[in-house]
Chain A
Amino acid sequence: MATDPNEPIAAALERIYRSESRRVLSTLIRLLGDFDLAEEALHEAFRAALEQWPRDGVPSNPRAWLVSAGRFKAIDAVRRNARFSALDDLEANGHEIAAEDDSANDEEIEDDRLRLIFTCCHPALAADAQVALTLREVCGLTTEEIAHAFLTPVPTLAQRIVRAKGKIRDSRIPYAVPQPQELAERLDSVLRVIYLVFNEGYSASAGDAITRHDLSAEAIRLARLLAELLPEAEVHGLLALMLLHESRRAARTTAEGELVLLEDQDRSLWDRAQIAEGCTLVEQALASRRFGPYSLQAAIAAVTAEAPCFAQTDWREIVGLYDVLLRVEPSPVVALNRAVAVAMRDGPSAGLALVDALLAGGELHDYRFAHAARADMCRRLGRNEEAREAYRQALALTRQGPEQRFLARRLAALGD
């Protein structure tokens, strides 16, 4: 027989690693009360599986087996390192899991995943540390992968994660789902992290690749997990918003990596399945009456996605949604987007008046899209000299290759 008897086990192990390792880790963190100890234990548990499963077969409940193996390995490690003070805690927790093993409490394990998300996104941690820790612990990305995705040196990112874990331990950030009265505020922090990861993948703030697909896919996966664990309106809203953006990925750049504006996109390239899912989620979120800014932005994206062509977009509806969004979340960036929609509904001079008022306010002075919007409106009004000046200002504020080339093309078309 030429078949390798270990092959099916290895395949099973890899499948179980992919589907279970984050669950097992999140439970081990609760049982061991320490991120590093839990990561080591997870590693040891899979190493033990690799040794024992080929001999004894795959256990009927691999998740419980791995949690249990990880816990024993951790206790061993602590004994070896003679970390006596931690040992008492561990043994107290050890009794707890022995009882849990019998009941195979899946609900508790799902809660652990939610605890892990809320702990990694705790607002007491620095914003960039929340992102790094979430990608590392919840999504299972390596430090190198995260550093690469965020164009950060590996030691800097590793240091960020070490500091965050130190703060969790020393200031005792609890491994807990927030209480109902804190939930809305804490959920904001989680949603912000997920959307940040998505945007870094969708519209990289620097560098030559306009999209970094993996991060966007990771953010969508994370939002799906969160929606499953905590089906709140704004979680659905954020998931919808990301799906609706993602649906246009294939159409928003040319094969050469150049930017294609919404009005010029080939709508047959849009992902209809993602649009349909996004629209259903938006309706669900809006119907709940507990929606917030993400659901409203998703509703705006849904109106765009459902238009048969750019010219037939319902700009009246979009301006109306921006009015609501501006009340919920008053910000100059939202006001700018509303001004662009007004320019589509009422013509460029109406939009330009709003943009100029916003720029006069000063807050958007260094925001490249404000100058790009002004440039576009001036261009459409035939005010070419002002358009050129605004394009130049936008160009000076842009660090992203495809955007720079797009603005340069527009400038060249105006005879600059």
Chain B
Amino acid sequence: MKYLCLVYLDEARLDELPDADCVAYDREIRESGHCVASEALQSVHTATTVRIRNGKLGITDGPFAETKEQLAGFYMIEARDLNEAIRVASGIPPARVGSIEIRPVRPIRETVAAAEAAHTQQD
């Protein structure tokens, strides 16, 4: 099962985390076979939010929600269950200064494909 681990931290505390530590863990998790994809993000100051309202494109500076901790990166992992996902997430270095939100992936493509297949069978 896939889980997205969202890494949140107060960007003011970013310098407490050497990049080398983060990359070392990234290498470790990739070698373990748990990692599907992972990236660190540019500072939240570079964020742009886009929305369509009444058919019109709206573009604003900044993240969707202003919070004390910002989204700083992510790991898409493969884990047997939540316990394994927690084990993997607790090793992510920013967990020591920020927090990691673990979200199970919803199999949206599979669900839609199954609905389409059932529909075709009925016809």
Contact = CB atoms under 8 A, between A and B. Distances in A.
Given A171-B104, A172-B1, A178 B82 contact: no
Interface string B50-83: 0000000000000000000000000000001111
A170 B102 CA distance: 12
B37 interface: no
Contacts of B86: 124
A173 B82 contact: yes
A122 B114 CA distance: 32
A72 B7 CA distance: 45
A85 interface: yes
A174 B80 contact: yes
Q: Max chain A CB contacts within 10 Å: which of B81, B83, B87?
A: B83
Contacts of B82: 122, 124, 171-174
A174 B83 contact: yes
A226 B8 CA distance: 37
A170 B114 contact: no
A182 B82 CA distance: 13
A176 interface: yes
A178 B104 CA distance: 20
Nearest to A169: B104
A57 B53 CA distance: 69
Given A172-B1, A172-B104, A178 B114 contact: no
B104 to A, nearest CB: 5
A195 to B, nearest CB: 23
B117 to A, nearest CB: 10
Interface in B74-123: 80-83, 86-87, 102, 104, 106, 114
Q: Chain B: interface secondary structure?
A: mixed
- In this complex, the interface size class of chain B, counting residues with CB under 8 Å from chain A, is 10 to 19
A373 to B, nearest CB: 36
B114 A176 contact: no
A174 B79 CA distance: 11
Contacts of A179: 83
Contact of A173 (B81, B87, B106, B114): B81
Contacts of B102: 171
A176 B83 contact: yes
A124 B86 CA distance: 10
Nearest to B103: A171
A124 B80 CA distance: 16
A85 B114 contact: yes
A170 B83 contact: no
Interface in A161-207: 170-174, 176, 178-179, 182
A124 B104 CA distance: 13
A182 B85 CA distance: 13
A323 to B, nearest CB: 31
Contacts of B83: 173-174, 176, 178-179, 182
A415 to B, nearest CB: 51
A81 to B, nearest CB: 14
A179 B86 CA distance: 13
Interface string A75-102: 0000000000100000000000000000
A122 B83 CA distance: 10
A178 B82 CA distance: 12
Given A172-B104, A174-B80, 12 more contacts: A85-B114, A170-B104, A170-B106, A171-B102, A171-B104, A172-B81, A173-B81, A173-B82, A174-B81, A176-B81, A176-B83, A182-B83
26 contacts: A85-B114, A122-B82, A124-B82, A124-B86, A170-B104, A170-B106, A171-B82, A171-B102, A171-B104, A172-B1, A172-B81, A172-B82, A172-B104, A173-B81, A173-B82, A173-B83, A174-B80, A174-B81, A174-B82, A174-B83, A176-B81, A176-B83, A178-B83, A179-B83, A182-B83, A182-B87
7 pairs of A and B residues whose beta carbons are closest in the complex: A174-B81, A171-B104, A172-B81, A173-B82, A171-B82, A174-B83, A172-B1
